[in-house]
Amino acid sequence: MTLLIEAEHLYRYYGKQCAVKDVSFTLKRGEVLGFLGPNGAGKTTTMQMLCGLLTPSSGSIKINGVDLSANAKTAKQSLGYLPDTPPLYKDLTVQEYLHYCGQLHGLSKTALLPAISQAQERCGLLEVKRRLIGQLSKGFQQRLGIAQAILHNPDVIILDEPTVGLDPLQIREIRALIRELGQSHGVILSTHILSEVQDSCTHVQIIHQGQLILHESIAGLAQFMDTGILQVATRLAPDTDSLAAIPGVLRIEALTATHLHIHYRLSANPSQALTAAIIAAGWELQELTPLKKSMEDIFISLTEDKRP
């Protein structure tokens, strides 16, 4: 299967400042890659290089197997881009605007109308297609921004902060749309919102001071979320010495006589043995939950580790 994006050893200098350092990654169809990083980390610079708006100082980008610098026009046909501020003309109707965008994308006359209808349908715009863009809510304007990005049915969709400024209901709708797009395309979205990555993405990538410090599947993030602590509650006070003797248990932190934090070796999770021991002793188990780090905790620990 052809990779939709192959970015290899990307560097970008602004004068002497190196904004992006040796960034390499790939994107496949069916992946939604969340691109995270603190302010000034290099997200926009990287996204603009991927879209062909900024030339890398060195390194190479292939879009759907086509080299972006050698064959920009062909490579860009596989790309749809939503900048952080959608390029909308407020005096046009939704239909007129998409017509104009379709012409810019080079769609033929016969392809144009079906493409507009399909994009409107996918983005939930059919009910407002005759309305002036300036009169639409921010949520509908954002959907329209996405519609112009997918109008020519590109393989790769790049979305810069797609949910900024939307209300919670609109955010939920746009995230559902992104997940749906991810099933048949490859999507990259940049965001500051960590929950957005867990909610909409299949993969996450964190950039810090120009360098990638994490590229993981959302499933693979589980290993970073383990704290090695079980939260245990019982109705009757257990004998902590006998629990501490169970293989895998490192130490027991008693919050109260019946609420414990049991620290364990990650390679030997003692949940089953603890459950069995507590039940057998008649201490009445009420809770046994692994404590997990949040995305925020992971993000902070990864970026703090790399501070100069």
Ligand X SMILES: Nc1ncnc2c1ncn2[C@@H]1O[C@H](COP(=O)(O)OP(=O)(O)OP(=O)(O)O)[C@@H](O)[C@H]1O
Residues interacting with ligand X, by CB under 6 A? 14, 19, 37, 39-45
Q: What are phi and psi of 155, to 5 degrees?
A: -75, -30
Rg (CA), the chain: 25
Residue number, 57 or 231, with CB nearest to ligand X: 57
Shortest Å distance, C-beta 189 to ligand X: 13
Shortest Å distance, C-beta 57 to ligand X: 12
Residue number, 82 or 107, with CB nearest to ligand X: 82
Residue number, 64 or 142, with CB nearest to ligand X: 142
Residues 6+ apart with CB under 8 A from 184: 29, 30
Shortest Å distance, C-beta 224 to ligand X: 21
Residue number, 45 or 148, with CB nearest to ligand X: 45
Shortest Å distance, C-beta 43 to ligand X: 3
Q: How many CB atoms are located within 10 Å of the residue 236 CB?
A: 11
Q: Which helix (H) or strand (E) holds 37?
A: none
* Closest to 177 (Cα-Cα) out of 165, 191, 189: 189
Shortest Å distance, C-beta 187 to ligand X: 18
| 120 CA to centre of own chain | 24
- Pinpoint the alpha helices (H) of 37-156: 43-50, 72-77, 94-104, 109-122, 138-150
Q: Quick one: tokens of 267?
A: 């390679």
Residues 6+ apart with CB under 8 A from 256: none
Residue number, 22 or 96, with CB nearest to ligand X: 22
Shortest Å distance, C-beta 40 to ligand X: 4
Residue number, 160 or 173, with CB nearest to ligand X: 160
